[in-house]
Structure 1
Amino acid sequence: MVKLFVRLTPKASVERIDGWDKDDKGRRFLKIRVRAAPIEGRANEALVAFLAKSLKLPKSRLSLVAGDTARLKQVEIEGLDEAGLAELIP
């Protein structure tokens, strides 16, 4: 299982992965844009669906574990390790 930090940008014109970055604490996170608005958890649902599709995994293997209302979120991905993640998202 791998824990992935994501900085989510909702209400984007196109859904895409913008690459990796680091925060003030040196934590590495993935920048992702989704079309959904941050209303009633729609952006979070869109994030999980988009990330699952990008990683070619079922949505059931991904879960949002932190950052429900924050821009920086933490997603757990079952059945994938750091090396596998790096291979799928360089």
Structure 2
Amino acid sequence: MNAKFYEIKDDKVIIYVKAQPNSSKNKIAGLYGDNLKINIKAPAVEGAANKELVKFLSKTFKIPKSDIIIKGETSKRKQIILPLNEKIKEFLKEYNEQ
């Protein structure tokens, strides 16, 4: 069993993300050790990649941008805190089965 790339606390999920800026497109690239690797088009300049990451996660999981919290903004390994909705539950279930 893989190390968990997320933790569920109450009605929130903390996902450990390795962000890969300057990618050709925004996408979830898969598991990278105990992180979820996410490719982001924006460069890691003045928070552009973090803004793009929030936008991408908001669209992917149907969550308002204001509900997405990023910890470790200047680090490549970030903690993304999201409200636990059905879309995220499905996503986590899918990844657990891999």
RMSD: 1.8
Question: Unaligned stretches of 5+ in structure 2?
Answer: 1-11
Residue-by-residue CA offset, 1:29-87 (whole Å, 9 max, x unaligned)? 2110011010100001111110111111111111102x211111001112x07x86341
- 2:19 is aligned to 8
Question: Unaligned stretches of 5+ in structure 1?
Answer: 23-27
Report the identity percentage.
Answer: 35
- 1:61 is aligned to 67
Distance 1:20 1:69 in 2: 21
- Alpha-carbon spacing, 1:51–1:31, altered in 2? closer, same or farther (3 Å): same
8 Å contact from structure 2 (residues 62, 87) kept in 1? no
- Scaled by the length of structure 1, the TM-score of the pair is 0.80
Question: What amino acid is the match of 2:78?
Answer: K
The higher-RCO structure (CA 8 Å, 6+ apart) is 1
Query: 1:5-44 to 2 correspondence within 5 Å?
Result: 5-22=16-33, 28-44=34-50
Aligned residues: 82
Runs of 4 or more, structure 1, over 2 Å off, are 83-86
Question: What amino acid is the match of 1:7?
Answer: K
